[in-house]
Structure 1
Amino acid sequence: MSTPSVQRVLVVLPAWNEDQSLPAVLDEIREHLPDVGVLVVNDGSADATSAVARRHGVPVLDLPFNLGVGGAMRAGFRYAIEQRYDVVVQVDADGQHDPRDVPRIVERLADADVVIGARFAGTGDYDVRGPRRWAMQVMAGTISRMAGTTLTDTTSGFRGAGPRAVRLFAVHYPAEYLGDTIESLIIALRSGLTVEQIGVSMRDRTAGRPSQSPVKAAVYLLRACLALVISLTRRRTPIRPESSVVV
């Protein structure tokens, strides 16, 4: 992977009951990203997720119960600070994100603090319709105006954080429901960070079942719109210097 020699990259995989899909994902990361660090955050799984990761020689953080993606990623950012990684890239453990896009995200982080791997940016054929699409467009439009650039997929979980964002998120990454997508971007923007996107293709899950039905997904996004309104009322979050981040 072609990155500056001073830059250490950590791929964080929040994983909840992903023991079926995780082996293929870790093998693919090892094949295409041999020079990056990898961390699996076992988010209170009831299956063999943790054991599978360890058999692949990957460090694991075992959370005592399911905190959701936000809580898992906050743990990942704190691990990155402790282990002195400069960049963190979130990759799903279900195989939907292509690790070959990680270098493109890292490269774009040279000019931005947060880079989103966007599903609706002219790459691939992923599409949603109806209430989900409407909610996503409202959120994307609102955050695009805050960011001063076009963001088409603000609910994407495929994203990278540069050094300033890693320090911020290690302390202030939202752990509550829905916070890991919309609110984290608002926190970044209100802290003076820059957010951009690149187009990526979304793949099918390699194993297991999606955690949401279409109805649940629509409810999720409607709740995300509510979370957007609430997060816009919160105070600006300062970025702490690295020396003051407690891990």
Structure 2
Amino acid sequence: MNTSAKILVLIPCYNEQDNIVRVVEHLRETCPWADYLVINDCSTDHSAELLRSHGYNFLDLPVNLGIGGGVQCGYQYSRLHGYDVTVQMDGDGQHDPAYLATVVEPVLSGKLDMCIGSRFITHEGFQTSFMRRVGIRFLSAMIRLLCGRKVADVTSGFRATSAEMTAYFADHYAPDYPEPEAILAASLQGFRVGEAPVVMHERLGGVSSISAVKSVYYMLKVSLSLIIDRLAIRRQRHGAGH
């Protein structure tokens, strides 16, 4: 891989005091050729103190924007500083930086505009719960129905984007749980979206922000958002044609 390319890893962080130091140190040790930016989304624990005391590169957001808003700030930062590839990697330790090059390479070589690290290609490592896998399959089927794009791991937050895709997301990104919506939007806008095999782990510590009850809400919200997004883009195209 061309390690002379400018690569930025975005690490969204909300109450990850149990994980964030290990995540950043593992990334720095494994991929010294990549820059990183932690996006602290108004954590109420000691995350900001840890980031500051370790001298890490981070944005300290003045208001809580949620995962989508926080990552969009990262995309804006990446566009502003001219990075060739931008990678999103969770702050809970589930994403292994040993697979960073695997996710980056299809984008860096020009094969894809967005490459998603998928746990469902080799089916190794942590596969998440049965109910979440059912939900992921449902969302995958919806996306394929709405835009014809087949993506297995539609909720994976481990993904790399080209400079052009990054610029688009800097201006257009869903505010809540945006991963499935980003795939649909990118596909409908003509960007090339694909997957690469990765192995994921269970979170190092702390608690996931998506509980069992929130999982049901998440499914309903994302499903409705995908349909609305599809209709909105169709209306835009119809209007442009006139």
> Which residue is 1:96 aligned to?
94
Structure 1 alignment gaps of length 5 or more: 239-247
Taking structure 1 as the reference length, the TM-score comes to 0.86
Q: Counterpart of 1:163?
A: 163
Within 5 Å, give how 1:142-221 maps onto structure 2: 142-144=142-144, 150-175=150-175, 177-178=176-177, 180-221=178-219
Kept after mapping to 2: 8 A contact 1:120/1:127: no
* Residue number among 84, 90, 103 corresponding to 1:86 in the alignment: 84
Is contact 1:135–1:225 with CA below 8 Å preserved after alignment?
no
Deviations 1:108-148, CA, capped at 9 Å, x for gaps: 11210011111222231414324x43432232123235665
C-alpha change, 1:4 and 1:30, in structure 2 (3 Å) is closer
1:56 offset after TM fit, Å? 3.1
Deviation at 1:24, TM superposition (A): 0.5
3-state DSSP of counterpart to 2:37:
strand
Report what 1:117 is aligned to: 117
2:52 match: 54
Q: 1:55 to 1:84 in 2, by over 3 A?
A: farther
Moved more, 86-95 or 214-223: 214-223
Residue identity in the other structure for 1:105: V
Q: Once the 2 structures are TM-superposed, how far is the Cα of residue 156 of structure 1 from its aligned partner?
A: 1.1
Aligned-pair distance for 1:72? 0.6
Q: Which ranges in structure 2 are unaligned for 5 or more consecutive residues?
A: 238-242
Question: Offset at 1:217?
Answer: 1.8
Asked if the contact 2:117/2:197 (under 8 Å) is kept, the reply is yes
TM-score normalized by structure 2? 0.88
Matched residue type, 2:81: Q
Q: Deviations over 1:163-216 (max 9, x none)?
A: 1101111111222x23x2122112211221010011222211112122222232
- Whole-angstrom distance in 2 between the partners of 1:190 and 1:174: 15
The letter of the residue matching 1:36 is A
Q: Secondary structure at the match of 1:45?
A: coil
Once the two structures are superposed, what CA deviation does each residue of 1:198-242 show, in whole Å capped at 9, x if it has no partner?
12222111121222222322331232212211111122789xxxx
User: Counterparts of 1:68 and 1:48 in 2: how far apart (Å)?
Assistant: 18
Task: For 2:161, give the aligned amino acid.
Answer: A
For 1:129, the equivalent position in structure 2 comes to: 130
Deviation at 1:50, TM superposition (A): 2.1
Report the Cα distance in structure 2 between the residues aligned to 1:146 and 1:230, rounded to whole angstroms: 11
Mean Cα deviation higher: 215-224 or 94-103:
215-224
Equivalent position of 1:138 in the other structure: 138
- Take 2:50 and 2:73, find their aligned partners in 1: how far apart are those partners? 19
Contact 1:15 1:42 in 2 (8 A): yes
Give distance in 1, aligned partners of 2:233 and 2:35.
34
| Residue in structure 2 matching 1:232, options 227, 230, 233 | 230
Letter in 2 for 1:3: N
